[in-house]
C-alpha cells in the first residue's frame, strides 16, 4: 500500500476512528489554507509517510512538513501536550461517554484496592494493628495475609512493592477527589507519575519511547478498543 492509497482509505474512515495525529495535522492545514477535501487527503498522505512509513510515488502528495510529526511524536514529551493528546484519544475512542453507573464494578474494586493500599501505608509506618484492620476489611483472613511480608524474598517482590506504592498514590488521589480537594488530587497524580518514572529508570525501561509507541497504538485502535464497556 502506498501513502496515497492509505490516505484514500482514511478518507472513508469515520473521524472517531482516525489516528489522532492525522486529525491534528489536518486541522493545522485547514487553519492555513481553508476547508476542502484535498486538504484532508494531503494531511492523511503526510501522516502515512511520516508516521506509518509508507512510500509516496506522487510528488503532489509528498510530505511537506515532516517536522510536525517529529516534534509531536519523536522528540521529548511535553507533559501538557501528553495530557491533551491522551484526552483527545480517549474522547475520540468513546472512553468519555460511559456514565458513573457504568463504572459500578470498577468503583467497588477501587474500594478494595484502597483498603490494600491503606494496609501498605500502615506497614510502612510499622503499624501492625492498622495493617491488620485494613486487611480484615478486604478478606476477613488477615492472619494469612499478614504473614506475606515476612516470607522469604522472591524475585520481583521489590518491583511489585513499587507498583503497590504507585497504587497508594491513586487511592490518595481518589480520597482527595471525594473531599473536593483538587490541589491534593494534583499532588497525588504527580506522585504517581514520579513513582512510575522512578520504577522505569530502576528497571532500565525507556518510558518516553514506550509512551510514544503506546499513544500511536491507542490512536489506531477502534472505538472503545473493540467493544469494551468502559
Grid coordinates belonging to 202? 530502576
Rounded CA separation 57/209 (Å): 30
For residue 74, name the pLDDT band (cuts at 50, 70, 90).
very low
Rounded CA separation 30/24 (Å): 10
Mean pLDDT of 213-229: 80
CA dihedral 26, 213, 229, 103 (to 10 degrees): -110
- Contact predicate 17/226, CB 8 Å: no
- Contact predicate 25/19, CB 8 Å: no
List the one residue out of 65, 67, 2, 13 whose CA is nearest residue 219. Answer: 13
Res 90: pLDDT = 80
- Per-residue pLDDT of 118-175, as tens digits, reads 878 888 888 877 777 776 666 654 455 555 544 454 556 677 777 778 888 898 998 8
Grid coordinates belonging to 135? 486487611
Res 142: pLDDT = 47
Mean pLDDT of 182-208: 86
**What distances in angstroms separate CA 68 from CA 50, 87, 92, one per listed residue?**
9, 20, 21
How far is residue 119 CA from its own chain's centroid? 27
Res 156: pLDDT = 60
Rounded CA separation 92/107 (Å): 23
Rounded CA separation 200/64 (Å): 36
> Does the global pTM surpass 0.75?
no
Percent of the chain at pLDDT > 90 equals 10
- Per-residue pLDDT of 8-58, as tens digits, reads 999 988 876 777 778 888 888 888 877 676 888 989 999 999 888 899 888
Rounded CA separation 155/39 (Å): 55
Return the SS3 of 156: coil
- Checking if the pLDDT of 108 tops 70, the result is no
Res 44: pLDDT = 92
Mean pLDDT of 70-90: 65
For residue 93, name the pLDDT band (cuts at 50, 70, 90).
confident
How far is residue 183 CA from its own chain's centroid? 21
Grid coordinates belonging to 195? 513513582
Domain ranges of the chain: 3-75, 100-207
Tell me what the pLDDT averaged over the chain comes to.
78
- Contact predicate 212/13, CB 8 Å: no
List the one residue out of 21, 35, 12 whose CA is nearest residue 66. Answer: 21
Amino acid at each position: 500500500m502506498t501513502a496515497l492509497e492509505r490516505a484514500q482509505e482514511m478518507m472513508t474512515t469515520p473521524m472517531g476512528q482516525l489516528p489522532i495525529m492525522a486529525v491534528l495535522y489536518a486541522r493545522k492545514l485547514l487553519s492555513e489554507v481553508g476547508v476542502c477535501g484535498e486538504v484532508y487527503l494531503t494531511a492523511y498522505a503526510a501522516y502515512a509517510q511520516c508516521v506509518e512509513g509508507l512510500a509516496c510515488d506522487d510528488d503532489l502528495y509528498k510530505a511537506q512538513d515532516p517536522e510536525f510529526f517529529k516534534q509531536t511524536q519523536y522528540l521529548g514529551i511535553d507533559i501538557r501536550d501528553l495530557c491533551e493528546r491522551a484526552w483527545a484519544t480517549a474522547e475520540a475512542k468513546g472512553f468519555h461517554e460511559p456514565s458513573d453507573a457504568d463504572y459500578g464494578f470498577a468503583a467497588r474494586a477501587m474500594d478494595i484496592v484502597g483498603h490494600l493500599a491503606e494496609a501498605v501505608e500502615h506497614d510502612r509506618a510499622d503499624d501492625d494493628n492498622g495493617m491488620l484492620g485494613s486487611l480484615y476489611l478486604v478478606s476477613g483472613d488477615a492472619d494469612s495475609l499478614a504473614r506475606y511480608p515476612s516470607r522469604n524474598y522472591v524475585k520481583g517482590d521489590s518491583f511489585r512493592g513499587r507498583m503497590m506504592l504507585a497504587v497508594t498514590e491513586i487511592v490518595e488521589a481518589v480520597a482527595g477527589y471525594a473531599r473536593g480537594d483538587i490541589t491534593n488530587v494534583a499532588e497525588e497524580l504527580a506522585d504517581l507519575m514520579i513513582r512510575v518514572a522512578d520504577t522505569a529508570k530502576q528497571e532500565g525501561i525507556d518510558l518516553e519511547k514506550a509512551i510514544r509507541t503506546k499513544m500511536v497504538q491507542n490512536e489506531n485502535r477502534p472505538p472503545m478498543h473493540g467493544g469494551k464497556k468502559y
